[in-house]
Amino acid sequence: MEEDPFDFESDVLLATSPIVAPNRRRKVIGLDDLLVDHYKEKNRVIERKSKLAKIKKTYNSDDEEDGRVAKLSKYVDECHEKMTQLSDEDDVSIWGLKVFGNKKSPPSFVFSNLPSCFLFRSFMGHGVNSLIELSTESGEMFFEGLLTNGWLLKLVYKCGEVEKPIATWTFHLMLYSSKEVLRTAAVNFWCAILLPKNEDELLFLKIDWLPSFSELKGALETYGFLLHSPLEDSSDAEMILGDSECTESTQNIVAWIKFVAACSQARKTHFIFSTSEAEELVVVIICLLLDRQLLGLSVDLNECMLSLVNFFTDDEWSSSCAKVAKSVALRVPYDINSLRAVDCIQAVCGHTKHLRSAIAFQILLGYFDKVEDEEDVIRQLTLINLKDKSCDLFKIYIYLVLTENWFLYNPTLKDKPLLNEMWGLYLRNCSCQINITDTRSYASKVRSKASYLLQGATDKS
């Protein structure tokens, strides 16, 4: 029997026949289930963080934290102490001496002497005076105008004479005037008459009055210069800011320096001071070079120094140099200023080289007791135990620089082999006995300086 596709009875039979269905279970996930899972995971994260915090708290307990802070603080203090030791070389006091004290009132000058000179009287009697109407009361102002515009110099050359009233008046202005224009004009006037440009003017011009050393010394005392008192270290504030009263009192020192230089150069024609007085002036210039407030005058001071040392003949300088060196060594304190006293002398000629060497030796001599000659000084240096932790390497550095200048600028020491051998021994001690890891102040400077000088000595030999 063929099945009829349209036979619906068979379908009914099929529907009513038992069919074995597979055993499956389906779970419907609701919103509540998702919330439960979310909060469970959140609780697990919180629990994990809590455990980590407990572990960290246990590790970083208060005692442990305090211990670590104390240890770190100790390391910082040790590093700071070592850095301080290494930087001590930069903390050494700066050179600088106080060479001026209390200033005095300048001596008075009476202008009434000036109208008595021939130049003034001749101008008063000249016909042009009817236009100017020059009088004794207005005479000083008139002469100041002649001085500042250069006409006074031309008039004295025209007359062939510098009369005493004019000489004393311009000298007073040069050293004591509070007006810079007058000081400058006066010193230019004096430099021109002491050092004329040609010999004809030198022979033709007559100078009725020349100042003496006592006038120059008196001017220094007026400025407050400490001629005989021991020089004092300047404070850091004075070095940086300057003492206003001291600066004001030394304004005229510029003209004084230039005048001393001109007098030194004019020795062949105008013998204004003696050799002993010139020796004292050299000491004065060196002291002025030790004042940091006069650093701006270094060029003028060095030119004056060169003029003064060349004032002496070679025969005179042999003994005068030793006197100057001893005087400087007595006035300069035994600290960093002793090096400045040597370094400020420019070794540009035989006399200045000799002076630099002599001052270095005299200062070095003063550092040691019971030494009499050159061999004793070098022997004392070689006996110093540089490995001793109590050894002051700052002084060793001073000894090193002073001895270097003593040997370098004294040609006679080349003929003394024993001294040179002992000098080499001292350099080797400074170079080898100080370890490269030595943190003492000036250790690296002493070692480097000695090595450099030792290398130079080896190359020459």
Confidence of residue 5 (pLDDT cuts 50, 70, 90): very low
When pLDDT is averaged across residues 346-357 and rounded to a whole number, the result is 96
Number of continuous H segments (helices) and E segments (strands) in the chain: 23, 4
For residue 339, what pLDDT is reported?
Answer: 95
- pLDDT for residue 244 is more than 50: no
Predicted local confidence at residue 241, as pLDDT: 43
Q: How far is CA 70 from CA 64, 181, 255, in A?
A: 10, 68, 64
User: Is it the case that residue 395 has pLDDT exceeding 70?
Assistant: yes
Asked whether residue 323 carries a pLDDT value surpassing 90, the answer given is yes
* Between 203 and 282, the higher pLDDT residue: 282
E strand or H helix at 232, and its extent? strand 232-233
pLDDT (mean) for 214-227: 92
What does the pLDDT read at residue 69? 64
Distance, CA of 426 to CA of 381 (rounded, Å) = 6
The 10 Å CB-count burial string (b at 16+, else e) for 391-414 is: bebbebbbbbbbbbbbbbbbeebe
**What DSSP character marks residue 91?**
S
Task: Check residue 194 and give its pLDDT.
Answer: 94
Distance between CA atoms of 249 and 210, rounded to whole angstroms? 25
E strand intervals along 88-226: 97-98, 161-162, 206-207
pLDDT of residue 219: 94
Q: What percent of the chain has pLDDT over 90?
A: 50
- C-beta atoms surrounding 231 within 10 Å: 16
Which residue would you say has higher pLDDT here, 58 or 143? 143
Alpha-carbon distance of 260 to 341, in angstroms, equals 20
Rg, the chain, Cα only:
45
249-306 confidence digits (pLDDT tens):
567 899 999 999 999 999 988 889 999 999 999 999 999 999 999 999 999 999 999 9
* Measured torsion, CA atoms of residues 63, 66, 72, 76, in degrees rounded to the nearest 10: -150
Query: Which of the two residues, 188 and 54, has the higher pLDDT score?
Result: 188
Average pLDDT over residues 229-253: 59
**pLDDT over 80 at 247, yes or no:** no
Q: Is 10 exposed, middle or buried (0-12, 13-18, 19+ CB in 10 A)?
A: exposed
The confidence score (pLDDT) of residue 222 equals 93
In the predicted structure, residue 196 carries a pLDDT above the cut 50: yes
* Predicted local confidence at residue 459, as pLDDT: 56
Average pLDDT over residues 154-166: 89
Q: So where are the chain's domains?
A: 72-98+226-366, 104-223, 383-461
Give residue 31's pLDDT. Answer: 60
Mean pLDDT of the chain: 81
Higher pLDDT, 18 or 381: 381
The predicted structure's pLDDT at residue 6: 45
Q: Look at the block and give the residue holding tokens 């005479």.
A: 139
**Rounded CA gap, 282 and 321, in Å?**
10
**Quick one: average pLDDT of 61-89?**
62
Helix residue ranges, H only, 344-416: 350-366, 374-382, 393-408
Residue 218 burial (10 A CB sphere; 0-12, 13-18, 19+): middle
Compute the distance between CA of residue 156 and CA of residue 160 in angstroms, rounded to an integer. 6
**For the chain, percent of residues with pLDDT exceeding 70:** 73
Examine the pLDDT at 175 and tell me if it is beyond 80: yes
